[in-house]
Structure 1
Amino acid sequence: MLHRNGSALYHSFVLRSTKVARLQLSRRKVMAERASLHAARTSIPLVLVLQGPTASGKTVLAHALADAFPLEIISADSRQVYRGLDIGTAKPTEAERKRYRYYGIDLCTPDQSISAGQFARWSWEWIGEIAARGKAPIIVGGSGLYVRAITEGLFEEPGRIPPAIRSQLAERLLREGRHALYAELERVDPESAARYSDHNPRRILRALEFYYAHGIPLSYAQNIMRQQPPPMRIERITLLPERPALYGRIAHRVRHMWEAGLTDEMQRLLSQGYNPNLPIFETIGYAEALMTIQGRLDRSSAIERTIVRTRRYAKRQITWLRNSTPLGVVLPHFGDEALNRVYPIIDQLLHSADEYSCDKR
């Protein structure tokens, strides 16, 4: 009897112990899952994207936000990567670059080039470095391709373009002009041609170089050979001011650039030995400055031409934003109005992310 009672007590103890063990195991499993989810969430950096057309106030707003929050700025501007092109690209001043930590500026000389893919790879490294310091990166972009490459991934080219193909197409560009090469691109790669409706010679050349080097359209290769970006929590803010107000700001900015010495800057680049036929000198403002230096356009006409081309460029940027990328929070304001609207949004985003401390400014 004692044996049976002892056995019953033993079995009861074993059952209770098993249940406790199972409960403890279940609790540990839940805690581990929670820890894993927390680690996964906090290891994914918050990346702010501030996008909008030229002259919409992106830089001013980015500086105001960097004054208030622990942010570091990645300039996603395909022209600000060039050393020596300062005035015409509205590059941040030396004083501003000392006050705010910037990435993506002055990366190459005017006779070099940086693809959107290369810029994206560098940006992924910068994002990791910024997050490791307990800060949040804010990508300030007017170059849609750069922003898209950073946030959505990039195309990894299968090999180098043979120099012979590159030189032949460059010679044809000088001899036949970009419009003729664009017409050719429409025939062999209509999807890329539709993307480059601004007839940007550098992009036209790249698409044609790829086609003749590899035998397939660049647009097709980009669709099937895309490299995915690292995990990021992306929050977008888009500045889309009313058109009349934006055009007024564009006119003011352009006139300020010319008064600040845009022609002198272009002359300085030429004096350094750079070929006036370089694709980068097709950039709005620099092309007009070059025409005044060469005597093909008077200053007043050059300024008006720059204003018109900049307005058209802004219109294309707005079309790109509305049709090709998520907008996130849309702000139709400039200056303090935009800051007052976006401040609580950024504050909430940063406080919801455990890895960022708003005391780290």
Structure 2
Amino acid sequence: MSKEKRKLIVLLGPTASGKTNLSLQLSDFLDLEIISADSRQIYKDLDIGTAKPTNEELNKVKHHFISIINPDEYYSAGMFAMEANEIIGNIYKNKKIPLVVGGSGLYIKALCEGLFEGHYDENLKKNIKAKLMKLKSLQGIDYLFDLLKSIDPESADMYPDKNPSRILRALEHYYITGSKFSSSLKNIVIPDFEPCYIGLLTDRQTLYSRINQRTDLMWKNGLLEETRNILAKGYSPDLNSLNTVGYKECIALLRGEITEITAIEKIKQHTRNYAKRQMTWFRKIQNVNWINNDDNSLKNILKLIKKILSF
């Protein structure tokens, strides 16, 4: 007879929906540790632009996967899932509650549904990546997209927006392993817990207003200077980590390609677009407990968590 799987609370929602603040408020009532499922907050130095928790907030409750690698280091959803599984197990052993908080759909999918991750030879990976980057520079992303479509049409269909990093990842996987990336996603490893999703439902006007206000605050807090400092450390502006809303617009401004006003407006627009894509992803997840993001959200989420965890 198989034992009943432990419940894992996953708090998800689009950027600027207030997940961080809610998770911190929940820690006032629950003995928990936070698993950050954010593919950008993992990078050191990328603080303001990724809306990382402050040092005070990090000291209030233990967070995992905040500032764990340098901007030029490789990390993947599969690596996150593998490490997060181990950490979650340890949190359970310490009689605490693991709370997954994030907006990176692929990280959440990898952790909660399982995601194949091959163990690549790093030198081979670097060589393949360098060749693909050169090809992208010479031929453009449309060429690489067509190449992926000819090799692995199922993967190409997953990226209609022609996201460069995802197209490159799928091509890297093929040339390193000889197998299609879309096929590897089907080699699922079943997690040792049952994910229980709680989603923050924010009306569009309110969310867009929060995004605009947060962008203005990021700019006031020194997003441009932070970007300048990252580049001053010798990091390439073409890094995947810097192909992130906020940083890529700042880089364009520093290059003299756009004005400051345009940079700020582009950050707002691109963040709104990103939030829309996040919600599209989240709505595909089955059995999400959607909670209206209002003055009663903390009370309602706390009540739901206690019901799920039976206490």
TM-score interval, normalised by the smaller of the two chains: over 0.9
Q: Does 1:82 align with 2:43?
A: yes
Matched-pair contact (CA < 8 Å) for 1:48–1:138: yes
Q: Which of the pair has more CA radius of gyration?
A: 1
Provide the residue aligned with 1:56 in structure 2: 17
Which of these residues, 302, 307, 314, is aligned with residue 263 of structure 2?
302
Question: What is the aligned partner in structure 1 of residue 204 from structure 2?
Answer: 243
Query: What one-letter code is carried by the residue in structure 2 that aligns with 1:326?
Result: Q
Matched, 1:184 2:147: yes
1:133 match: 94
Deviation of residue 327 (structure 1)? 4.4
Deviation of 1:187 (Å): 3.0
Aligned residues: 309
Cα distance between partner residues in 1 of 2:281 and 2:128: 31
- 1:226 is paired with a residue of what secondary structure? coil
How big is the shift at 1:309?
0.7
Q: How does 1:19-34 map to 2 (within 5 A)?
A: none
Aligned to 2:292: 332
Aligned 8 A contact 2:16 2:207 in 1: yes
In proportion to residue count, which structure has more helix? 1
Structure 2: tracts of 5 or more residues without a match? none
Q: For 2:66 and 2:161, locate their aligned partners in 1 and report how far apart those are by CA, in whole Å.
A: 23
**TM-score computed with the length of structure 1 as normaliser:** 0.81
Correspondences of 1:93-132 after superposition (within 5 Å): 93-132=54-93
2:113 and 2:188 in contact (8 A); partners too? no
Deviation at 1:263, TM superposition (A): 0.5
Which consecutive residues of structure 1, in runs of 5 or more, have no partner in the other structure?
A: 1-35, 353-361
- Report the equivalent of 2:194: 233
% identical equivalent positions: 41
Could you tell me which amino acid in structure 2 is paired with residue 273 of structure 1? G
Partner secondary structure for residue 256 of structure 2 = coil
1:280 Cα shift? 1.8
Residues 310-325 of structure 1: matches in 2 within 5 Å? 310-323=271-284, 325=285
Cα deviation, residue 196, structure 1: 3.0
Report the equivalent of 2:6. Answer: 45
Cα distance, 1:198 vs. partner?
4.0
What residue is the counterpart of 2:213 in the other structure?
252
Root-mean-square deviation (Å): 1.8
Distance 1:197 1:337, change over 3 A: farther
Equivalent position of 2:301 in the other structure: 342
Check 1:233–1:215 CA distance in 2 against 1; reply closer, same or farther (3 A cut): closer
Write the distance in 1 (CA, Å) between the matches of 2:156 and 2:75.
20
Per-residue CA distance 1:143-164 (angstroms, 9 max, x = gap) = 0000011111120316437243
Inter-partner Cα distance in structure 2 for 1:300 and 1:193: 35
CA distance, structure 1, for counterparts of residue 157 and residue 104 of structure 2:
16
Change (3 A) 1:351 1:222: closer
Change (3 A) 1:249 1:220: same
Q: Answer yes or no: is the 8 Å Cα contact 1:239–1:332 preserved in 2.
A: yes
